[in-house]
Structure formats: structure tokens, C-alpha cells
Chain A
């Protein structure tokens, strides 16, 4: 059984079915990829898993426990963390305080007692943000800002980390460093779910990939299987060609 599981999640907006009966799992120590064209329902699925969106039906399980009805904050306390596709950083705080406040929140809302300052320094150096820690958030370019979101999520010592297009806006070098960081985190036992349009990155990092199209999973498997799957080529790469 996976650490994080969705069972038959369906989300509807009015008459539109944005997510259609999706059941996937995210395992400890591995990076699970979630790909699909724009509007396939990836972010909606993330929102449902993290509690920002109520599903019409289906369940979300964390470590076997049903968390479908829990508030986002409660899920965070249970070890879930995420980043946002459209950056949700705290623009009136410095980079360091953006990371540090996650520790403050943890201390104030749970019985978890961490040395916030020490932990902040550790996470900043681990994510390679030491050189920009003093900057105001609004002065940080998008590529690094994505890393700040990851660092902030790591402050909560998560068991499962959901990343929503973390590499978009990054330079080639930044993406490479980022890939190293993710691989390292997974090796330490973190369960990571990665939504990303940078296919080479996904193929390189993920052990399992699920392909979403029109809200439904149309293929699952190893990178190799996905690359060779005729459905994926038809639905995913095919549509891209049409729109292009």
C-alpha cells in the first residue's frame, strides 16, 4: 500500500468533470510523476489531495487513514506539504523568513517542538538558498522562487511532498541542481509526487508515471513504458501537435 493514495477521486465544476475517477498512489522514497496536457486536471487533483477542493466522490488516504474530510492545515500536520504552480510566496517577508515562518506555524499549531532558527539554516543550506536568504521575496527571480517554495515545504518535515510544476521558469542549470535535490530527498525516504511539463526531467527522476487526459488516467507505468505507450503518444503528444 502506498503512503498517499487516491481512490476514485472525481471533481466536477458545474457540468465539467475536471478529475474523473482517479486512483493513484505515491510511495515512500520514490518520485511519482503526473503528466498530461494543460487542463488535464493535474492541479485540481493536487487541490483535492491537499484539501483546497472538495471532491464530488472518492477518498484520499494518507498512511491508510481516510483524510478526505480534513482541513488543509490538518493534512499538513499529518505530514503533507505542497508547492504551487502559480507561486504562493509571502511577498512581505524575506527569503529566510518565508522558510522560517513554516517552522513558526508548526510550533504554534502542533506539539512539534523544533528549533526554528537552526532548522531554517539547515533547510536553506540543503536547498542551496544561502546566498539569497537575505533578499526580499519580491526581488527573487521565478526559478529560485520555486526552490524557496520547496524549502518552505521541507520546513514542515513532510512525509509526502506534492510539487506542482516546480521547474517551470528555471534555467537549465537551476533545473539540473533541482533534479539533484529531489533525487536526494527521495533517497532519504520522502514520498514525492511531481507534476511537470519538462518531460526529460520527469523521465529522468520518476520511477512511476501517471498520464492524465481530460481528467482521467489514461496510462501508468515506468518512464520507458510511458514513452512507448500508443495511447499516450496519441492523446498527449498528439494533442500537442494539433494545438501547435
Chain B
């Protein structure tokens, strides 16, 4: 009985911290319409800062608390709102989600930069773990009492805020109709800023409270994923109701402690199960939630994508393969291997192009589906042993098939609901897979078979062999992966141009209208999610095989988030956006950080600077991601628009091609190094549209742009120069007035003026 009571109280304590975190999440979501994936990251950053002040610099506890919870928390929220969130109005849900994901990653990279992740940091409970009281045989620590009291105070406080205060009532209206609020004399921006400040403070508070409960070890990733626990709790209230969110948090907290108390400890997966519990509960809640009401979209979002024809896509696919072939002639074998790895990431990114770019749904854990396929291929798709081991074609096909089915099953509960739920469900699946499946490294026996899903924590995945095509050679691997990328890409473009693709676009643009035309939305989403999961699976197996051996971390949800973010940065509606996102997240940043580390090792005097630059590069990626709000169509879109304008400027294009060819030949003959080739090519590619505008403005610029450049706009004529007859004739011409006819009197007639004078004199 005492055990039961003890664990019930522990559960309530854990639940109260979840409740604090979750209520902050619900608060910001309801006042700004943005679901903050960085909520846990904010908690993490605040907690690390608290640790730094109290343990690093020895400040008194109360002072650190005041600074972190009272100043940094609200300031962080207000700054986020002012700099980023405010600019997200009129963007698609996908853009909103990706921006907060970018903030999450940015905060994570930042914390890893400041606080080295391999150092151990411990946070004590408030008043120490020795401070406790005993009640009916149950020991409760003071820290735990604080958690309960704080949560209760917040519950009461929020209740009063929303029901009794004017600001609270305005907050409830803010997301439904900001324009109406404005007309009623309120400022929706100020309300949103306030809610972001409050939400961020609650996150920080939850982080500071939860760390000592969980053993006291401060760990950036774990705290960042607090957002999932908070989300699972918030699901009980459909992300709307704060009282129900509190109930959900308590259920979550108590289930977790009961599992700890009553599950047999000799089950190897009990520990993993407890960690995965929020994700499991989340899926259960998803299944029982009633279907969303369809609402009209009625917002004109800013994202725009051009769709190429299949023929054009095929030509570009062939060009890509040719370019990659030419590049392999320049590269060393290790670079080819790295490049090949990047190309497999690009294939995984294609799964996002079809799902997000075409259908408007989001998968935040594409690599986890890659993991599923890799596990299947490892167990059932390898023939031969040792160096002769090869992946078989049938193995890959089986892996892809299984992944598609798993994808369908994961997505199904969320498909009846809005896109946000699917995004969260996939992220939860990713974390679940990492904490439960990929940690299943010890052998156990089930139904008379001894196995482990992820033996010893590493899977050795051999290269693929289909008939005479053996991918052992890195160059063959790279070219095959590139050709495969191009093939899938052309397939996707063909899909987009078909009736199926049009139906996806219809669903993305207006689910309500698509449904009213007779489209079964769940069926369509289900199908496209399976296609997407299958592509991610294929890319995942190839990725594993390109690496040779993979560990659980290769499929971590943070890596998935990076891939999603960079693909959106590149342009989620474009094939080339997937190429950009895949190459950058797969290898681009590894190369950048690696290069800086090499430089640091080579020049010890500059070590700190180079190392910082490497870290800065990581944070910079996240900054680019946050910029998606400003440019939601992606980088590729801008480049394509730039080159579209060059269509008529043949000489510029030919000149560019010749310059690039010269660079290539110079590199091939060893006159310039590969790095110079890469840098100069990038410069050339970026600058060509600019050159075009400078050299051949008539061919490149649009009519309006040219007219604007040629002359001062009509309404500004005569302001900074004397007003001449010539100008007047031009005005007449532009206004379509009959020329030559001298119209009505120019100035008040002289006679009238005279009369006036006379009058005054008289």
C-alpha cells in the first residue's frame, strides 16, 4: 500500500511538471495558432542557463531562479514572437511547423556549443534531496511538494486569467479572428506576445523542476523532447482545454511511475517501455479522438511552386547524372563515398517532396522509416557472409513494402485530424522507434525464437548486388544512387501532373472543397503517406548500405528534423529542393564542421576560432531554417526564378556554361584544387542571374522593371527638376489626353487675380 501511495504521489509530481509544460504549449498554440515544437528546447536552454548560474558561477539559488524564470523566460518568448512568429501569418501550416523546428534545432546546437554535451552536469533538488517530510509512511521531498504547489497555482492562475480577466478573454479570441479583435480596439499582436512570454516562462519553469526529478542529470536532447510529453498531455484537451490538459498530464505522470513500480525489472525492455510511454499514450489518444470538423482554408498562403513537365524533368535528371559522373572524375574515393551518402539522403528527402510539397502533409521522422526498412533488409535481405555479403533486390523490395505498411499504420490514427497531428504523430513515432526499437540490442526469446531487433546496437548493411550490377565500388554506388534519384524524381513529376497529383494539390489547397467534390480525404492521405514512407525506406536502406554500418543515432529524430528543415529551406515543392536538403543535411554540414576541425588541428594557434566557426555553421543552418517564414517557397524557387529571367539572354547563359567548363578542365588538369572549383562554381551559379541583369537588361528584366528603370515614375516627375513643356506633353500622352490642344487655363486667369486685387484695394 505504501508503495502504491508513494508511486501515486511521484506520479502526481511528474504529472504536475508535465502539466506546467503542456499548459504553456496550449497557451501559445491557442493565442497565435502556432504549435511550438521548440517548447522543449526553450525549457532546455533555460535549464542549462539556470545550471550555469547556480552551479557554474555559484549564484544563490533564488537569484538564478529570478533571472531565469522571471527575466530570461519571458524575454525569450517575447523575442521569438517579435522576430519570428509575428511574420508567420499567411503561411502554410508546414512553414509554421518547420520554423519552430528550426528554432528547436538552433537552440539545441547553441546549447551544445556553449555546454559541451559530453560533460556531466547534475542538478540537485531544491533544498536538497534530503529535505523531506513523512506522512502516513510515505516520504515526500520538499522539491516534490514545490512541484505540486506550483502546478496547482498555475492551474488556478490560468483559470482566473481566462475566465475573469479581460486579457484572458481577448487571448481566447486572438487565434479565431485577429481582425475582429483589431476592430474591437485590441491589439492581437500584443496579446500574442504576452502569451509567448508566458508560454516560454512555463517551459523554463518545467525544465528547472523536472531535471532533478529524473535523476538530476542535465541532458539537452532529453529536455528538448519534453515537447512530446507536453503534447501527449495536451492531446487530452485537444490542444484547447487547459483543465483537460492537466488531467492528461496526471494520467501520463502516474502511468509512467506505475510502470516503473510494477513492471518486472527482468524484462529487458521495461526501461525502454517507460521512456516510450508518452509516445504510446499519444497514439492511443489519437485513435480515440473524434474526427476534426472540416473548415475552409480561406487564407491565401504565400507559398508558390512551379511544376515542370515530365519531359523537362527527364532532361534535367539526365543532366544530373552526367554532372555527377563528371564530378566523380575529380574526386578522391573518400569524397565519392561521402557524396554517395548525401545522394541517399536526397532520395529520403524526395519522400518529403511528394508528401509535403504535393499533398501538404508533414512527416517529421523520415529517417525513422528508413530505419524500419534497414532493419527489415538487415534481417531478411542479405545473402552471403563476410566480404561476400550482399543486399539482394528482393530484400530491398521487401523492406520497402514493409515500410510502406508501417507508414500507413503510423499515419492512420492521425489522418482523420489536421496536418499538425500527423506531424506530431510521426515525430512521436520517431522518438518511440529510437527509444524502444533501436535500443532493442539484447537477445531475447519470443515464441521459441531468439532474436534482437537491433543486435549489439550496430547493423552492418552490405552493398546491393542486382545481377551484374555490384554496388561495392563507390563510383558505381554514387552513379546508381543518382540515377535512382533522377528516376524517382521523374516519377514524382509525372505523378504531380496526373489526375492523382491534381487531387493531392486540391486536398492541400482546400480540404473542404476537395471533400465537397467527393474526395475521400483519409484514403488519399493514407495512399500518399504510404508512397512517401516507401521512398523514405528505399533511401534509408541505401543510406545504411552507403555508410556500411549504422547505429541507432543515425536515425535519431533530431537528424530527421534537420533533413526536413533543410528540404523546406531548399524548396519543398521542388525536386531540386530535395536534392539540396538531402545533400546538405546528409553530408554538407558534416563536411563543413569536419573541415573546420581539420583546420583547427592543423593550426593550433587558431584552434578556438576554427572550432567556433564550425559550431557557428551548425547554428547558422538553423537560422536559415527560421528564415523560411520570410521566404516560404524556398531557395530553389528564387534560383529558378532568377534563371527563368535569363531565358532570353542566350549569350549570358552560354558564357556561364563556357566559364564553368573552363573551371572544370582546369580542375581536371590539376591547375586549381577541388575546393576552388566548388567555391568558384557556386559563385558563378549564384552570380549569373545578377550578371545577366547588368549585361543584358533588355533581355532579362520584365517590361515593368525596365520601364521603371528607364524613367522616373510619372507621379514623381517635376519634383527634383524644373517642370518643362516636354514633361507636360509626356504627362498628357500617358494620361491619354488629346495632344496639341491647349486645354483650359493653366493658372487662375489673370483677370480674376486682378479683380481680386482690385477688391482688396477697394
Contact = CB atoms under 8 A, between A and B. Distances in A.
Contact of A89 (B294, B509, B519, B521): B509
B499 A88 contact: no
B514 interface: yes
Interface in B489-541: 499-500, 502-503, 505-506, 508-510, 512-521, 523
A73 B300 contact: no
A95 to B, nearest CB: 13
Contacts of A138: 300, 304
Given A71-B515, A73-B519, A84-B513, A101 B294 contact: no
A168 B503 CA distance: 28
Given A88-B296, A92-B304, A73 B499 contact: no
Interface in A48-99: 50, 52-54, 71-73, 76-77, 81-82, 84, 86-93, 97
Interface residues of B, number: 30
Contact of A52 (B294, B505, B519): B294
Interface stretch (A30-38, A106-114, A213-221): A106-114
A92 B301 CA distance: 10
Contact of A116 (B499, B514, B516): B499
Nearest 7 pairs between A and B by C-beta?
Answer: A76-B518, A104-B499, A88-B513, A90-B509, A101-B502, A88-B510, A86-B298
Contacts of B687: none
Given A72-B294, A86-B298, A92-B305, A109 B506 contact: no
A210 B248 CA distance: 47
A156 interface: yes
Contacts of A92: 304-305, 505, 508-509
A105 interface: yes
A14 to B, nearest CB: 12
Given A88-B510, A90-B509, A73 B293 contact: no
B297 interface: yes
Contacts of B509: 89-93
Given A88-B298, A101-B505, A116-B499, A76 B513 contact: no
A91 B502 contact: no
A103 B304 CA distance: 24
10 contacts: A52-B294, A73-B515, A86-B298, A90-B506, A91-B301, A92-B509, A93-B502, A101-B517, A109-B518, A138-B300
A138 to B, nearest CB: 8
Given A71-B520, A105-B514, 15 more contacts: A52-B294, A52-B512, A72-B512, A73-B515, A76-B518, A88-B296, A90-B509, A90-B514, A91-B301, A91-B509, A92-B304, A92-B509, A93-B509, A101-B517, A138-B300
Interface of A: 50, 52-54, 71-73, 76-77, 81-82, 84, 86-93, 97, 100-110, 116, 138, 152-153, 155-156
B296 A84 contact: yes
Contacts of B499: 100-101, 103-104, 107-108, 116
A100 B502 contact: yes
Contacts of B503: 101, 104-105, 108
Contacts of A81: 516-517
Contacts of B296: 84, 86, 88
B513 A89 contact: yes
Contacts of A155: 517
A107 B520 CA distance: 12
Given A52-B293, A84-B296, A93 B514 contact: no
Nearest to A91: B509
Nearest to A112: B518
A77 B520 CA distance: 10
Contacts of A93: 502, 505-506, 509
Contacts of B518: 73, 76-77, 105-106, 109-110, 156
A34 B684 CA distance: 63
Contacts of B512: 52, 72, 84, 88
Contact of A50 (B295, B305, B516): B516
Instruction: Pick from A88, A103, A110 the residue with the most CB of B within 10 Å.
Output: A88
Contacts of B305: 92
Contacts of A102: 517
A109 B502 contact: no
A94 to B, nearest CB: 10
Contacts of A73: 515-516, 518-521
B510 A90 contact: yes
Contacts of B516: 50, 52, 72-73, 76, 81-82
A233 to B, nearest CB: 30
Nearest to B520: A73
Contact of A152 (B294, B301, B505, B517): B517
Which among A76, A107, A156 has the highest number of chain B CB atoms within 10 Å?
Answer: A76
A19 to B, nearest CB: 16
Contacts of A84: 296, 298, 512-513
A142 B158 CA distance: 43
Nearest to B519: A105
Contact of B506 (A86, A105, A153): A105
Contacts of A91: 300-301, 509
Contact of B517 (A71, A87, A97, A156): A156
Residue among A76, A100, A101, A110 with max Cβ neighbours from chain B (10 Å): A101
B162 to A, nearest CB: 15
Contacts of A109: 518-520, 523
Nearest to A92: B505
B304 to A, nearest CB: 7
A101 B521 CA distance: 14
B518 to A, nearest CB: 3
A82 B297 CA distance: 16
A104 B502 contact: yes
Contacts of B295: 52
A153 B517 CA distance: 7
A183 B311 CA distance: 44
A16 B304 CA distance: 39
Contacts of A72: 294, 512, 515-516
A107 B518 CA distance: 10
Contacts of B523: 109
Nearest to A74: B518
B409 to A, nearest CB: 22
Nearest to B508: A92
A103 B152 CA distance: 56
A90 to B, nearest CB: 4
Contacts of B519: 73, 105, 108-109
A87 B516 CA distance: 13
Contacts of A53: 293
B297 A88 contact: yes
Given A72-B515, A82-B516, A116-B499, A90 B293 contact: no
Nearest to B509: A90
Contacts of B294: 52, 72
Contacts of B300: 91, 138
A138 B300 CA distance: 9
A138 B509 CA distance: 12
Which of A87, A100, A138, A155 gathers most chain B CB within 10 Å? A87
A90 B293 CA distance: 20
Nearest to A90: B509
A199 B330 CA distance: 74
Nearest to A106: B518
B445 to A, nearest CB: 47
Contact of A90 (B301, B500, B505, B521): B505
Nearest to A149: B513
B344 to A, nearest CB: 29
Contacts of A105: 503, 506, 514, 517-519
A188 to B, nearest CB: 20
